[in-house]
Amino acid sequence: MTTNRRDFLRNSLIGAGILSTGIISCTSGTSDRKTGKGIVRTQQFNMCGYAAPKLDKVRVGFIGLGMRGPGAVQRFSHIEGVEIVALCDKLEDRVQKAQQILVKQGLPEAKSYSGSDDAWKALCENPDIDLVYICTPWAYHTPMSLYAMENGKHAATEVPAALTVDEAWQLVETSERTRKHCMMLENCCYDFFELMTLNMARQGFFGEIVHGEGAYIHDLLDLNFNKNGYADMWRLKENMNQGNLYPTHGLGPVCQIMNINRGDQMEYLTSMQSADFMMAAHAEKLAAEDEFFAEFAGKSYRGNMNTTVVRTHKGRTIMIQHDVTSPRPYSRIHMISGTKAFAQKYPSPARIAKGHGWISQEEFKELQDQYTPEIVKHVGEMARQIGGHGGMDFMMDWRLVDCLRNGLPLDQDVYDAALWSVILPLSQESVANRSNSVDIPDFTCGSWNSNAPMEITLKGGGTTGVKVKQEAESTQLNV
């Protein structure tokens, strides 16, 4: 998505009067609004630990039915207490395909929104929707989340939630003012080993957490250049930017384990990036074979590997890596190092150590039995069956619905969405300045000192079931 598109979306929202800065004031000019530096801010309302009023039924509208959206519709069709009210995509055929998901599940068709770039606004304005679920290209995530909250809806958006520091602040301000949740759909926080290590950390297994690592290492070279893949080649265009473009998959689980925003906070980062050894050359090769790619030749692309290191106020460190071009196995790393023990997944299998060597498989199984959290015992098997990256997508969606139905705080609040996403623009700033350190904004305005840790490892509301359609009959499983 181009900068012009971002400016258009932002200007349209300014015209609607929903991007006001509220009580924030800039001490040295509006340009500081882009970096967060020099801003004096007072928290309007603490959304950490906030439980919105219970919803007997969660009425959902989905925006974006390309790559990720249909899977989300499918998963939500299995969750009790959900009504899929609306489906939106600017391409009508995608909406119709999503309608068939509902029909096959024996559910009524939802209201359709399509045919224009602004169809999503009408969905957000629909008074019969409680939750807007956003699965669009990155540049739309902030504008759509803001518009949803301004129209009285909770917002759940695919990653990243924001592309600039300014956008991250807008999400925080709007969520606090409207008291509507803004959750970034970081599914990797709900993977099975990540949840297990979170529970282990909560119970002191690792001792003091010293260091964590996360990554998004995924060979997407062919996908990024697939002209029949992402609409308008938006993802390839995003890769013309520098920095860590996709930090949240590896970062989210580590932040939860370290109680970031809830007892500790990021202080500053430094980011270093390799040269681009592949993308520009691949663009030239394709352009020589297909005129379609001519506009992508001669452009500058992100380097193969970005490594960003964060230091927290309590002296912990976090390393986050991003490489979507090199021919290497998929990895999110997920490494946790403490004063008593160590855990790592990728390369597989997941392993744990309490000294120089790995523990035995027998002892690992005993730890699994001891530390598998209640949420996995509740819904883990159904999540594996229904799917979505091995089940973590379904577990994330189920948990979101269960929290909304039972008036529970969300596991990921707007401060997490803003902080985890803001690594992207701050890493760009560091890379552009020879890896100089960059301060990280405190979106909680100091409330991280007293915010309580999130409790995903405990039993949830427990009233939300799963609908499993097996051939001609439907079985209700209360979990």
| Torsion sign across C-alpha atoms 114, 65, 16, 45 | positive
pLDDT tens across 410-422, in order?
Answer: 999 999 999 999 9
Banded pLDDT at 3 (limits 50, 70, 90): very low
Share of residues in the chain with pLDDT > 70 (%): 87
For residue 363, the model assigns a pLDDT of: 98
Q: Which among 268, 270, 267 has a CA at the least distance from the CA of 313?
A: 267
116-147 pLDDT per residue, tens: 999 999 999 999 999 999 999 999 999 999 99
CB 71 within 8 A of CB 47: no
From the list 373, 393, 372, 389, the residue with the least C-alpha distance to 79 is 393
State the pTM of this model: 0.91
Residues 428, 299: Cα–Cα separation, whole Å: 18
The average pLDDT across 264-289 equals 98
* Domains of the chain: residue spans and CATH: 189-374+415-449 (3.30.360.10)
Q: What are phi and psi of 24, to 5 degrees?
A: -75, 135
* Whether residue 27 has pLDDT greater than 80: no
